């Protein structure tokens, strides 16, 4: 029988790309989303890309524990990928209660429902932000988690610890048979993404930031299309080769494929520990200036930008050592930053023509 994966927040940017790759890999997928940070554009795009228009969609808020419990009663769920969370760093500083309430309650409800329905495998969408201001570069999964630089980042640290503790507590039951997950045991994987960017090559799904984009690449593409006047590059006085910040920009399709590899690891009983963590990055640091230059070059355009003071809360540099994911998940980032920036631009042009 085909295994079913629940993708909470599955109508969003990363969730929709993961849904495509899960369907392509032969899984049944159930998408749950409260549509607070997206519309149906990407879910409709998923159906066009996969050719499957019967992917079940449940419009629920994962903070509603009765709704989450009902989801687990109505569907047999073999694994959950939990994306449903708020993720704007700046907003989390201004509204911490909103972030702790939403990001923690939604995950606790998923874990509680999994437990009361016999246990299942849980994949948590974490972030490199859990490393905080680290000076140990590249970061490995054993690099220390410094104090989070925002409530958003802290919710990611806390949810990792919750998953770790829930997995440990559930391990008291009899050992899980190969791939089964109905003896109450919960196994967990946390994927720590670095900077997801780009869009599906079909240009039918991509990032849909609401209002003024916080993140670099959607601000670049919106500037290039004329929706924004000018890109501000936040600081060119850092002690880096060109003075701008360094990041590990991971293509969203590569990132989605890492999720499929992690789900397979859990469902095929290949995990070595009941709770595992993987960095999902390219291992290649790229500066803001390099990214802007690459975007101009690959898309044959000139971007309007200026240098402005540093953005509070930014870390100067962070990039991954992805060797554990490469070895254990058999996954490696494949798309070049140029291909990814071309896909981001194609998506922005698709939006301009179709919305
Ligand atoms: C990247 C670089 C900015 C915008 C955060 C979260 C992370 C993940 C991605 C959710 C920085 C610079 C940006 C702009 C700029 N979370 N920049 N002008 O801050 O590395 O990571 O978002 O998705 O968990 O921590 O990403 O894209 O905001 O910034 O110069 O208009 O681009 O200073 O150096 P960040 P980002």
Residue whose structure tokens are 């409709």: 44
**245 Cβ below 6 A of ligand 1:** yes
pLDDT at 171: 81
Cα 256 to Cα 16: distance, rounded to the nearest angstrom: 9
Nearest CA to ligand 1 atom 26: 215
- Percent with pLDDT over 90 in the chain: 86
Q: Which region among 67-76, 156-165, 206-215 has the lowest average model confidence (pLDDT)?
A: 206-215
What is the predicted pLDDT for the residue at 178? 59
| Protein residue whose Cα sits closest to atom 17 of ligand 1 | 216
Distances (CA, A) of 267 to 22, 219, 274, 347: 13, 38, 12, 33
pLDDT at position 312 over 80:
yes
Is the C-beta atom of 200 inside 6 A of ligand 1? no
Active site residue 193: no
Instruction: Give the model confidence (pLDDT) of 226-273 as tens digits.
Output: 999 999 999 999 999 999 999 999 999 999 999 999 999 999 999 999
What pLDDT was estimated at residue 173? 55
**For position 181, what pLDDT does the model report?**
46
Q: In the predicted model, what is the mean pLDDT of residues 60-89?
A: 96
Any atom of ligand 1 within 6 Å of the Cβ of 310: no
Q: Where are the alpha helices (DSSP H) in 119-278?
A: 151-170, 216-225, 252-267
Q: Is 247 in the pocket of ligand 1 (CB under 6 A)?
A: yes
Q: Is the CB of 3 under 6 A from ligand 1?
A: no
Model pLDDT, residue 177: 59
> pLDDT tens, 115-143?
999 889 999 999 999 998 888 999 999 99
Distance CA 201, CA 205 (A): 9
Q: What is the mean pLDDT of residues 49-69?
A: 97
pTM value is 0.95
Identify how many contiguous H helices and E strands the chain contains and give both numbers.
11, 13
C-beta 148 within 6 A of ligand 1: no
State the closest ligand 1 atom to the C-alpha of 318, by its place in the atom list counted from 1: 20
CB atoms within 10 A of CB 59: 12
pLDDT score for 39: 82
Catalytic residue among 27, 86, 152, 238: 152
Segment 32-47 shows an average pLDDT of 90
Say if residue 180's pLDDT is above 70.
no
The minimum-distance atom of ligand 1 relative to the CA of 291 is: 32
Distance 266 CA to ligand 1 centre (A): 31
Residue 182 pLDDT more than 80?
Answer: no
Name the residue at shortest CA distance from atom 10 of ligand 1.
Answer: 87
């Amino acid at each position: 029988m085909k295994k079913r994966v629940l993708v909470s927040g599955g109508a969003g940017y990363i969730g929709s790309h993961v849904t495509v790759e899960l369907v392509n890999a032969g899984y049944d997928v159930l998408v749950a989303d409260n549509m607070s940070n997206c519309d149906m554009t990407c879910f409709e795009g998923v159906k066009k890309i996969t050719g499957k228009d019967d992917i079940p969609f449940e419009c629920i808020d994962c903070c509603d524990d009765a709704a989450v419990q009902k989801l687990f009663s109505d569907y047999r769920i073999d694994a959950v990928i939990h994306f449903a969370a708020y993720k704007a760093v700046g907003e989390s500083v201004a509204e911490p209660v909103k972030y702790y309430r939403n990001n923690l309650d939604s995950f606790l409800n998923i874990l509680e429902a999994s437990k009361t329905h016999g246990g299942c495998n849980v994949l948590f969408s974490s972030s490199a932000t859990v490393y905080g201001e680290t000076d140990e570069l590249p970061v490995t999964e054993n690099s220390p988690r410094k104090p989070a630089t925002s409530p958003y980042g802290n919710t990611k640290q806390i949810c990792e610890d919750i998953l770790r503790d829930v997995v440990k507590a559930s391990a008291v039951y009899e050992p899980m048979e190969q791939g089964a997950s109905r003896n109450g045991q919960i196994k967990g994987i946390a994927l720590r993404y670095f900077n997801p960017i780009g869009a599906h090559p079909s240009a039918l799904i991509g990032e849909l930031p609401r209002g003024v984009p916080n993140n670099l690449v959607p601000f670049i593409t919106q500037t290039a299309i004329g929706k924004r006047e000018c890109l501000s590059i936040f600081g060119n006085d850092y002690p880096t080769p060109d003075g701008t910040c360094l990041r590990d920009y991971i293509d969203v399709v590569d990132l989605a494929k890492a999720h499929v590899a992690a789900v397979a690891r859990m469902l095929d009983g290949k995990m070595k520990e009941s709770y595992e963590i993987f960095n999902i990055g390219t291992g290649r640091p790229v500066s803001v200036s390099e990214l802007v230059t690459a975007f101009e070059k690959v898309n044959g355009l000139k971007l309007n930008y200026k240098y402005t003071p540093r953005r509070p809360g930014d870390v100067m540099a962070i990039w991954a050592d992805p060797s554990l994911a490469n070895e254990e998940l058999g996954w490696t980032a494949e798309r070049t930053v140029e291909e990814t920036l071309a896909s981001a631009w194609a998506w922005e042009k698709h939006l301009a023509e179709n919305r």
